[in-house]
Amino acid sequence: MATRSENEFRDLVNLSNQIPIKLPDRAVCQSCGTVIFKQHLYWPDFIVPTAGHLVEVKESKEYFSLARISEEQRDRLEMWDKLSEKHNSWLFLEIGEKPAPNGRSAFMIPWCDFTSIEREMIQVGQKSVGKLSKRNMGADDMFRYYRLDWIKGVGWYPPTVHPWRAHMK
């Protein structure tokens, strides 16, 4: 069953007349019939074939821990970015559990930009990020250039200057 964030990411991509493909959360071993769960497959959540994007979708009620992105997921996203020589790996991050836009924020972040921000966070000892934060910078500040707008009846939508807009046809 898809999460709320996965459904909202799918809606965002559908706005650009593209079809995101959800990569499976499990597979069956062809040799022994054992079910292999996604944490052993290392795939990001979605591929958008018409644009060549790999997208990892994450959500958090209050604070998003950087450790929730596995090393294997990181490797796949990094490799895809290097192979494509463009921003083709993305992180769709949604933080908050109350109704959007005030109780929830969403960000569509190019993977290479996310890893740069993440390095800065780690340097100051920050291991997670919340929507708003009293101690550290919150996601609304830290990822402000990648924040999506909420349009009632439509869902999340990138503002005019958002890098995802270049990929919308």
What pLDDT score was predicted for residue 123? 92
Domain assignment present for 167: no
Is there a domain that residue 130 lies in? yes
114-162 pLDDT tens trace: 999 999 989 988 898 887 666 667 888 889 999 999 999 899 999 988 8
Tell whether 169 is covered by a domain: no
- Counting the structural domains of the chain, the total is 1
Asked if the structure places residue 59 within a domain, the reply is yes
Are 156 and 150 in contact by the 8 Å Cβ rule? The answer is yes
Does 140 reside within a domain? yes
Q: For 148, which DSSP code?
A: P
pLDDT reported for residue 40:
47
pLDDT in tens, 34-87: 766 555 456 788 888 777 888 999 999 988 999 999 888 898 899 888 887 777
Answer whether residue 163 is part of any domain. no
Query: What global pTM score does this model have?
Result: 0.86
Cis peptide before 101 (omega within 30 of 0): yes
State the residue range of the domain holding 53: 4-158
CATH classification of the domain holding 145: 3.40.1350.10
Q: Average of pLDDT values for 164-169?
A: 74
